Amino acid sequence: MTNNGSSAEIILDKSSGSGLISKEKYYYGFFNAALKLPAHFTSGVVVAFYMSNSDVFPHNHDEIDFELLGHEKRRDWVLQTNLYGNGSVHTGREEKFYLWFDPTLDFHDYTILWNNHHIVFLVDNVPIREVVHNTAISSVYPSKPMSIIVTIWDGSEWATHGGKYPVNYNYAPFVTTMKGIELEGCIKQQQNNTNSSSILTPTCSKRSSTSSLDPVDGEGFMKLSSQQMAGLDWARRKHMFYSYCQDTKRYKVLPPECNAT
């Protein structure tokens, strides 16, 4: 921890990776981290900012992921987004992007918005992916409270060109600096039921009217603005180079949400 706890460094070396996890679990909300990534040759290194409840629901967990994948070239990183709902890990929903900036020179914001209407992934306030909560995806839409986690770890087996380039520890330690942590959402707390086992219950409730500042139900968070839609279109046309919905080699029959209107 640095700067009186307002920032932190997470480090990967030959003996261990590292990470931070939120004290609370959240059900819907707005979650942000500003990250500055390691420079030099980072093949096989994975920096992840994500939400998960695999510790509570090991067989039907939910997950919403930003994964930054190191590269065999200096300062090049690939951004991957993914999500699982109700243990649907057999279907990867990855999308991959080339970044339009050097993530090793300064901090950049990575943001997850998750509510009943949609999941939005944003980079420096630019939407790069929207998952609309519709009938086609409802069975695998993340639906249970999750922790917020930031980690750095060795993904040599898959992260860089399918494992072709493993981590080169001659360039260790790999240091990611993080700040600007913002966690706004419904907090779930542990309570005991009559059987002495714990359940998760919300500390916030549905509001009778929407507020533009409410990331759970606020009308400003129900759909993207015209400006955000333009940014989403730009990011996907110019910078996305892989989507599972276009991977007909991997999926003989595409997941149903790929064909949804």
pLDDT in tens, 235-261: 999 999 999 999 999 999 999 999 865
Q: Is 26 a residue whose pLDDT tops 90?
A: yes
Q: Where are the domains of the chain?
A: 3-259
- CB 221, CB 215: distance < 8 Å: yes
Please state which of the ranges 29-33, 208-212, 225-229 shows the lowest mean pLDDT. Answer: 208-212
Calpha distance 242→240 (Å, rounded): 6
Residue 154 CB neighbours (<10 A): 18
Higher pLDDT, 212 or 230: 230
Q: How many Cα atoms sit within 13 Å of 127 on the Cβ side?
A: 20
Known catalytic residues are 63, 67
pLDDT at 177: 97
Q: What tokens does 45 get?
A: 């290194």
Question: pTM of this prediction?
Answer: 0.91
Q: Would you say domain 3-259 falls under CATH 2.60.120.200?
A: yes
